[in-house]
A and B are shown apart, each in its own frame.
Chain A
Amino acid sequence: MEELLEKLKKKKIKFEIREREEGVKKKEKRRTILVHTPRKILRDTVKMLIETSEDFPHFSVCSFTDCGDHVELNYHFSVGYGKPLKETNIILRVTLKKDDLKVPTLTDLIPATILSEREIKEMTGIEIENIPDGRHMFLTKDFPDGVYPWRRDETAPKETRKLYEVWK
């Protein structure tokens, strides 16, 4: 873990460490490191993560926030698992401008990212460069183009009805 932080500092990549205390009799700290990763060094940062972790970084999921003029894309990883109390959450946050929604694929580095990349593509409209499989993941094949359920702008679904209204 320390090795990764050293490398991040060396490359002048900004990060924040967050801790929250858990437990009743024994207090333990749940640690999260939020790394502000510019898009152009996303792949290098993931490579760094692979090099410095003992087993292999565990990829959980991608989350997304629409903040108006820009969007936040978070890659949730965890490293140091397998040993009691040694696990740390790592969030790689990529901030993208609304008129330039593109990120490179990570599937060749971490195969498990494919499902999340497919989900991000269909739910948010972010283009994943060189994605090996660009099919829909959760939305049906006939879901309209240009409608992105996780967005909060004009591309968000407009006509949403409650279940009982569907039958009318």
Chain B
Amino acid sequence: MKYEIPIGPIHPALKEPILLQLTVEGEEIKDVDVIASQNHRGIEWIGMNRNNPVQSIYIAERICGICNISHPSAMMLAVEEAANIEVPERAQYIRVIQCELERIHSHLLWAGVAAHEIGFDSLLHYTWKVREKVMDILELINGNRVTKAIMMYGGVRRDIKKEHIPKIKKMLEYYKEGFDKLAKFFLEDKTVEMRTRNVGILTKEDALKLSAIGPTARASGVKKDVRQDQPYFAYPDFDVKAITPDMFTGEVVGDTYDRIVVRLLEVKQSVEIIERALDEMPSGDILSEPKLAKLLMDLKKAEGEGVGRHEAPRGEVIHYVKLKKDFEPFFSWKVRAPTYSNIMSWIPMLKGCQIADVPIVAASIDPCISCTNRVIRIKGDGKKEIIDGDELHRLSVKKTKRLLEGGS
């Protein structure tokens, strides 16, 4: 007997509104349909009709709170290409540092969420305690933990000062020393391995055909990373290499465990990039056109188009911008956030899994959509029964216990 189970439109494991319509037979998931049309904010419309290009930077920051550097970064690349704006060398380095700080905090945030989804809350609290160090640095150099308003066409708005550098280096040391401990907790723990090994497998072929990106694709063995393939900002100086799980475990399985491996190794990689960037950062200006009114006039006169691709923590984010002479807002603006490309991968990943695996598998692509706290289960007789977030979480915790006792 097949049942339909909707998970969403609001759910703690999925963040932001999205609906997963599951067809299940017993505990096993047979088919999945993803329904995204739950909430549309019309951000592109605002950028194309209401805002001037500078205002649009700050709305781009609000597309996603966690990716608040990634979206403006892709937008800077697109507009700077369209209007042919040069960027000073120091600003390119500061941009790289900001992007990598974002990757560290985002991956640690995700690791905590993943631990929570399998009922390992002490690990969630430990990971988020570790994450606080990078958040403190973000606050120190930007004045804010989340939306930082640092990007500007032709550079950045705030410099990294001399007195900041020892504090940033201290943070990097903290992560270097703490990495082995974190890796041990996540990668050698029996509970984590049981709940994530061979769960939610995405094959390399599916990853390629469904155009999966970021850690989701890399965990399936696709060596794809914009920082490596088509570097931008100051990334050509760093020779970034795409990280795949075989570097650590010697094999590529493409499951949830591999996605944890990739993200943890990327935290280490980001620490190394920031360290080098701080040492090699050139001096000089941070903005090519400090007068805002003149910049806006230049942008109004500009005509052209550009594509910006940036490797966000979740994968490639791409912005397409077209500017038209004497037309102030963007004539055309298309934003493609990473989850847009990754939600298709949920379908092959979830097929054959159990309902209790949905939170961890769904979370394994690090989706950027939003939070549910209830599920409606429709029984065979048509009666509805509501399972709330706590209940679903309880089911997941129960499965972990069952596995520990040797069950399935």
Which stretch (A2-10, A39-47, A54-62, A94-102) binds chain B? Answer: A54-62
Say yes or no for B211: interface residue by CB 8 A criterion.
yes
List the B side residues contacting A160 at CB < 8 Å: 45, 49
List the B side residues contacting A111 at CB < 8 Å: 209-210, 344
> Contacts A20-B81, A58-B224; is A110 near B229 (CB within 8 Å)?
no
List the A side residues contacting B316 at CB < 8 Å: 60
How many angstroms between the C-alpha atoms of A24 and B42 in the bound complex? 36
How many angstroms between the C-alpha atoms of A141 and B318 in the bound complex? 27
Set A62, A65, A84: member contacting B229, Cβ < 8 A:
A84
Say yes or no for B156: interface residue by CB 8 A criterion.
no
List the A side residues contacting B44 at CB < 8 Å: 149-150
Query: Which of A22, A66, A89: most chain B CB closer than 10 A?
Result: A22
0/1 interface trace, chain B 330-342, chain A, CB 8 Å (1 if under): 0110101000110
Set B208, B211, B222, B241: member contacting A60, Cβ < 8 A:
B211
Q: Would you mind naming 10 contact pairs between A and B with Cβ atoms under 8 Å apart?
A: A23-B237, A64-B332, A84-B229, A85-B229, A91-B307, A111-B210, A112-B211, A114-B344, A140-B40, A150-B45
How many angstroms between the C-alpha atoms of A19 and B353 in the bound complex? 46
For chain A, the count of residues having a C-beta within 8 Å of the partner chain is 51
Question: Which of chain B's residues has its CB closest to A140's CB?
Answer: B37
Determine if B229 and A23 form an interchain contact, defined as CB atoms under 8 angstroms apart: no
Determine if B336 and A60 form an interchain contact, defined as CB atoms under 8 angstroms apart: yes
A1-48, CB < 8 A from B: 20, 22-28, 30-32
How many angstroms between the C-alpha atoms of A81 and B340 in the bound complex? 19
A60-89, CB < 8 A from B: 60-66, 74, 76, 78, 80-89
CB distance from A75 to the nearest CB of B (A): 11
Question: Which of chain A's residues has its CB closest to B345's CB?
Answer: A112
Question: Which of chain A's residues has its CB closest to B91's CB?
Answer: A24
List the A side residues contacting B395 at CB < 8 Å: none
Determine if B36 and A89 form an interchain contact, defined as CB atoms under 8 angstroms apart: no
Determine if B229 and A87 form an interchain contact, defined as CB atoms under 8 angstroms apart: yes
Say yes or no for A115: interface residue by CB 8 A criterion.
yes
> Contacts A22-B236, A112-B211, A139-B40; is A61 near B334 (CB within 8 Å)?
yes
> Contacts A82-B223, A112-B344; is A26 near B237 (CB within 8 Å)?
yes
B232-248, CB < 8 A from A: 232-237, 239, 241-242
List the B side residues contacting A74 at CB < 8 Å: 320
Say yes or no for B256: interface residue by CB 8 A criterion.
no
Set B40, B211, B331: member contacting A58, Cβ < 8 A:
B211
List the B side residues contacting A58 at CB < 8 Å: 208, 211, 213, 224
> Contacts A76-B307, A81-B229, A115-B344; is A63 near B332 (CB within 8 Å)?
yes
Query: Which of B45, B230, B242, B332: most chain A CB closer than 10 A?
Result: B230
Say yes or no for B322: interface residue by CB 8 A criterion.
yes
CB distance from B368 to the nearest CB of A (A): 14
How many angstroms between the C-alpha atoms of A112 and B292 in the bound complex? 40
List the B side residues contacting A66 at CB < 8 Å: 332
Say yes or no for B153: interface residue by CB 8 A criterion.
no
Say yes or no for A164: interface residue by CB 8 A criterion.
no
Determine if B320 and A112 form an interchain contact, defined as CB atoms under 8 angstroms apart: no
How many angstroms between the C-alpha atoms of A64 and B38 in the bound complex? 23
Query: Which of B81, B208, B332: most chain A CB closer than 10 A?
Result: B332
> Contacts A55-B208, A61-B334; is A30 near B232 (CB within 8 Å)?
yes
Say yes or no for B89: interface residue by CB 8 A criterion.
yes
How many angstroms between the C-alpha atoms of A80 and B404 in the bound complex? 45
List the A side residues contacting B237 at CB < 8 Å: 23-26
Say yes or no for B282: interface residue by CB 8 A criterion.
yes
Say yes or no for A167: interface residue by CB 8 A criterion.
no
List the A side residues contacting B208 at CB < 8 Å: 55-56, 58
CB distance from B104 to the nearest CB of A (A): 22
Say yes or no for A128: interface residue by CB 8 A criterion.
no
Say yes or no for B93: interface residue by CB 8 A criterion.
yes
List the A side residues contacting B93 at CB < 8 Å: 24
List the B side residues contacting A84 at CB < 8 Å: 228-229, 239, 241
Determine if A82 and B224 form an interchain contact, defined as CB atoms under 8 angstroms apart: yes
Known: A60-B318, A60-B336, A78-B309. 11 other contacts (CB 8 A): A58-B213, A60-B309, A61-B318, A64-B332, A65-B331, A76-B307, A84-B228, A86-B229, A111-B344, A112-B209, A115-B340
